[in-house]
Amino acid sequence: MEIQANSPALMIQAHNLDAVRATLASAQQARTPEQHADVILQLSTAATQLLTPSR
């Protein structure tokens, strides 16, 4: 199956990849326990969104 360049699924995957990269950058910059907790919350939220079926 060929993926079209304008495929909504491809756009969603690209958006998710950007979110992962941004969260990774945040994790690498976190210095305090509060910042670490915030990154963990972001990762948890992102994982939940990835695992929740879209409607």
pLDDT value of residue 3? 53
Residue-wise pLDDT for 27-36, tens only, equals 888 899 999 9
Q: Are 23 and 43 in contact (CB under 8 A)?
A: yes
Measured CA to CA, the distance from residue 40 to residue 53 in angstroms comes to: 22
The pTM score is 0.54
Convert the pLDDT of each residue in 1-55 to its tens digit: 455 567 888 888 888 888 888 878 888 888 999 999 998 898 888 788 877 876 5
Helix residue ranges per DSSP H, the chain? 8-29, 33-51
Distance, in Å, from the CA atom of 36 to the CA atom of 52, rounded to the nearest integer, reads 24
What per-residue confidence (pLDDT) applies to 1? Answer: 47
